[in-house]
């Protein structure tokens, strides 16, 4: 009878996991998108258009022409972010193209605004050529204070990011790389804290070596994890220097080649099962499940193991299967399970801090600072096996990590504005609170209608 009860519970959980998708199919066409443009200046009467548009607008235009830096004073450039994608690697859906990827980028823009007070624009680029995409981004940078690259396939995403960071004068960031690395590191920090293990001594299995985990591996090493303690797996097995395709990797994917040469101190070979055996932490960002990670492979991990299965829309293994296998701390990228280790906790606050000090780039050290800030907020609220990182309801995490990021930018000498810690925090808090209150007001007054029954 207990088995039957357990079976029903699992079926109910699976049905719950399907609900967001069902609701999305009702509400996306109802609202016809998630974001729109609204004014931020006074419009007392039609005479004000003479200030905001012609003839008055000519004066700030002349001022900017004489001193280009004045664009940050006269316009909203410092708070504009472009969310750029070609639709070639959307969530767990793969190459679905620029039109089909637009709902995701709109959702990203919504999170930017509500959680970080950032005015973000979804921009889909209709090309798969990385050089054409780079050129398109360079053409539009005069409008924006930052660029968020999103859902671009690997390995070209690394090339695109590297070139743009070198060739434009505003921060360019790839959320699937740095954003995922930041929030995952926060989850690892607190997960290991709960089980009483030191990050420098823990053995890591990393499943999947796309954009997310390539950057994560680099981040873990910079955060103090010895490279030899990381065992990485791609679709062909564990990365190691003796692999038959190592020369091909060297030529076509130098990022993955570098991982093969530097990690896996034990020289392990095989697949996911062999990589996970006797490890303390497993981080998966690979093929959506369930079944990508089998229950018996999870059972082969060390006692008090930490696992983050980040594939969307379905994690590589269901939470209850991992728990039954003996995993103690388990997180996913989903909001309907405990421990949502999701980029939404990172990029709004990280960009808020970056924009507020007008940083010239976003360094690895900045997103690592964000990770420790995220972890600290959760720890202050009280860690548990089902609470290793804050939730999106813990809105104080965003101004807190914004402050950590901005202070790191100032420390590294890449901030155009130097503010005190208190000034940064109060400014971020004010902007984020305003965005949330505006949304609540629009809902209360009916300008955002309630969803249909």
Which residues are annotated as catalytic? 53, 108
- The H or E element spanning position 326 is none
Sign of the CA dihedral running 114, 119, 125, 129: negative
Instruction: Report which DSSP code applies to 89.
Output: S
Asked if 409 and 418 count as a contact pair (C-beta separation under 8 A), the reply is: no
Q: Where are the beta strands (DSSP E) in 145-296?
A: 146-149, 172-174, 204-207, 230-234, 237-238, 281-284
* Overall size of the chain counted in residues: 453
Asked if 178 and 203 count as a contact pair (C-beta separation under 8 A), the reply is: no
| Complete edge-to-edge strand list for the sheet that includes strand 146-149 | 119-124, 80-85, 146-149, 172-174
Report residue 187 as tokens.
């989850």
Angle ∠(110,111,117) on CA atoms, nearest 5:
90
User: What phi and psi, each to the nearest 5 degrees, are found at residue 390?
Assistant: -60, 165
Instruction: Report which DSSP code applies to 70.
Output: G
């Amino acid at each position: 009878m207990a088995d039957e009860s357990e079976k029903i519970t699992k079926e109910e959980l699976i049905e719950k996991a399907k609900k967001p998708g069902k609701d999305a199919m009702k509400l996306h066409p109802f609202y016809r998108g998630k974001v729109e443009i609204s004014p931020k200046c006074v419009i007392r009467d039609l005479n004000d258009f003479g200030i905001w548009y012609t003839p008055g607008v000519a004066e700030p235009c002349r001022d900017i022409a004489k001193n280009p830096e004045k664009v940050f004073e006269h316009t909203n450039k410092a708070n504009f972010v472009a969310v750029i994608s070609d639709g070639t690697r959307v969530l767990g859906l793969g190459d679905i193209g620029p039109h089909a990827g637009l709902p995701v980028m709109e959702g990203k823009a919504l999170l930017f605004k509500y959680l970080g007070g950032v005015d973000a624009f979804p921009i889909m680029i209709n090309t798969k050529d990385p050089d054409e995409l780079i050129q398109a981004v360079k053409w539009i940078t005069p409008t924006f204070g930052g660029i968020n690259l999103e859902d671009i396939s690997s390995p070209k995403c690394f090339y695109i990011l590297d070139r743009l960071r070198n060739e434009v004068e505003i921060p360019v960031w790839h959320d699937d790389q740095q954003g995922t690395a930041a929030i995952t590191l926060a989850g690892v920090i607190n997960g290991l804290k709960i089980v009483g293990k030191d990050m420098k001594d823990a053995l890591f299995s990393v499943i999947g070596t796309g954009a997310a985990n390539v950057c994560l591996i680099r981040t873990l090493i910079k955060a103090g994890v010895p490279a030899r303690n990381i065992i990485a797996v791609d679709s062909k097995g564990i990365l190691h220097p003796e692999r038959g395709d190592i020369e091909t990797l060297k030529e076509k994917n130098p990022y993955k080649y570098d991982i093969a040469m530097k990690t896996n101190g034990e020289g392990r070979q095989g697949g996911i099962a062999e990589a996970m055996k006797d490890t303390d932490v497993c981080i998966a960002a690979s093929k959506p499940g369930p079944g990508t990670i089998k229950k018996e492979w999870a059972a082969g991990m060390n006692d008090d193991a930490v696992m983050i299965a980040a594939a969307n829309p379905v994690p590589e293994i269901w939470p209850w299967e991992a728990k039954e296998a003996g995993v103690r701390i388990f997180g996913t990228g989903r909001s309907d399970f405990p421990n949502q280790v999701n980029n939404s906790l990172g990029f709004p606050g990280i960009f808020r801090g970056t924009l507020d000090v007008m940083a010239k780039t976003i360094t690895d050290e900045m997103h690592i600072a964000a990770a420790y800030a995220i972890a600290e907020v959760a720890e202050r609220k009280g860690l548990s096996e089902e609470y290793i990182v804050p939730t999106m309801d813990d809105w104080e995490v965003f101004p807190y990590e914004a402050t950590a990021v901005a202070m790191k930018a100032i420390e590294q000498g890449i901030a155009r504005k130097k503010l005190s810690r208190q000034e940064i925090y109060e400014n971020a808090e004010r902007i984020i609170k305003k965005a949330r209150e505006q949304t609540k007001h629009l809902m209360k007054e009916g300008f955002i209608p309630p969803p249909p029954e």
